[in-house]
Amino acid sequence: MRIHTVLALLTPLVAVAACGTVTTTAARPKPSVAAPAVWRACPGGQGAECADVAVPLDWSEPDGPVIEIAVARRKAPKSEGTIVYLPGGPGQSGVETLIASKEFGGLERRYDIVSLDPRGVGASSPLTCPAGQVMALGPERLPTTDAQLRELRQATAALAKACRKATGPAFDHLDSASAAQDLDRVRQAIGADKITIYGHSYGTLPAQEYAARFGQRLRGAVLDGVMDHSLDRRTFTVSAARALEESFGQFATWCVKDKTCEVDDPVAAYRRVLAKAERGKLGKDENGRAWTPYTVTATIDAMLFTPSWPAAGMFLNTLDKGRPWRTDGDDTLPKRINHADPIVCQDYAMAYRDAAEIKADLAAAAAVAPTVRYSPNAMKAVLTCQGWPAPVRNPQRAPASKATAPLLLLQSRYDNATPVAWASNVARQLGKRAHLTVLPDWTHAMKLYNKGCQARYAAGYLSSLTLPPANPACTSTPPGVTL
């Protein structure tokens, strides 16, 4: 059985399929006017159309060099408007998603469905890095001394140097504010007066930026699994730890009650496994690296994000009994990959001054998460930024919206990728310009593709701007789970 353990905010590493290029042209479009998109059949797109839209490399220099944003579209038989899907990650390809799927919750029958690869991703000037260096930098233990932090910064800087060489000038211009401005240029190029946005996970950041900057062009927006751009580093790490603790608690409650779960007491088993990992008694993972408390918790974090509760029970039982944990398949990577994780570093100021600040963050996280102690997903995002040289072009600030319709914030209660606290804080800051619906649910998946009322809530807003109840009773359970 193959089990993919994918960290929530940071997308799995993918090979570079195509690279956008930085160019200069003698006759560039003015900032307010985009040349019409020239559509062509997408390779293997089964009816999807593809285009490339030129945008400024640096939006502060609109007449400077340009890059191209890869765009895909599925035309409705008789279109009532345009819905734009903004993918998560950072690192997920909206173009590949649209090519792979003919359906978009049934809305494709009435609306043109458009998506894109945000700058730095896929075919839009991807952040390209040597795969070996990326894998070598993956955290196995959290740095807790100044020497360890210094070593991390040096390794990150070396990786960044190689990434900058492979990526080109786009390396320093990959923030979500720039991505939002790209989106409005795309809107002009496809001839849409207004758009409706469906943003998922990290895609909710450029969606919020678009609402703040171009709300007059926004018919409405669904923010599904909400990022909070106002969080400082400490709040980011602590709130994520609390969410993982609650998510683990939900899994543990099910596991104790359900005979199909392979471990009788998941909390006790988890603590035993962590203790063995700390002593180096768990052997090696499939990559030949010794299991550590960080990698154990990171695997659990990823499984709960899916959520894969039966697999989490199997994982704990396997390691607790001293057996090796293996997954099937070939994970061979090419020499270079699209490594989009550091895009976070241009949207959030995450730098530590010293190891004392790391310890303080971890202590604050452990105070609210006594079982899991911290969120590996959040800590990976923060550690990725230590020593990363690209500027923080879009630092944290409170959300805003100029849109007429309230934004729909659609949030699972036990989502450990984008905590419910983030959605609640964004809703509070936006006030009447947002409507928060909290689902009694565990998944980070796109609600438009969940069965039943969740899909109806998302589709109902996207089609008629109908706001669902704030606290509905409907849910979708994890696969293989009966509650």
- Pair type for strands 49-56 and 40-41: antiparallel
How many domains does one find in the chain? 1
Residue 28 placed within a domain: yes
Residue 309 placed within a domain: no
By the 8 A CB rule, do 123 and 70 touch? yes
Kindly report the pTM of this predicted structure: 0.93
Q: What's the pLDDT at 31? A: 41
Residue 198 placed within a domain: yes
Tokens at 299, concatenated: 């695997």
**Which portions of the chain are predicted below pLDDT 70?**
1-33, 328-331
Q: What's the pLDDT at 403? A: 97
Q: What's the pLDDT at 4? A: 28
By the 8 A CB rule, do 223 and 461 touch? no
Residue 422 placed within a domain: yes
CA distance readout (Å), 125 to 16, 344, 392: 10, 16, 18
By the 8 A CB rule, do 357 and 185 touch? no
Q: What's the pLDDT at 328? A: 66
Q: How far apart are CA 101 and CA 83, in angstroms?
A: 15
- Pair type for strands 218-224 and 407-412: parallel
Residue ranges making up the domain that contains 211: 14-125+171-230+397-464
Residue 402 placed within a domain: yes
Count other Cβ atoms within 10 Å, centred on residue 399.
25
Which CATH number goes with the domain that contains 460?
3.40.50.1820
User: HSE on the CB side for 149, CA within 13 Å?
Assistant: 15
β-partners of residue 199 are 86, 223
Residue 244 placed within a domain: no
Q: What's the pLDDT at 1? A: 23
By the 8 A CB rule, do 302 and 8 touch? yes
Residue 296 placed within a domain: no
Residue 334 placed within a domain: no
3-state secondary structure of 214: helix
3-state secondary structure of 422: helix
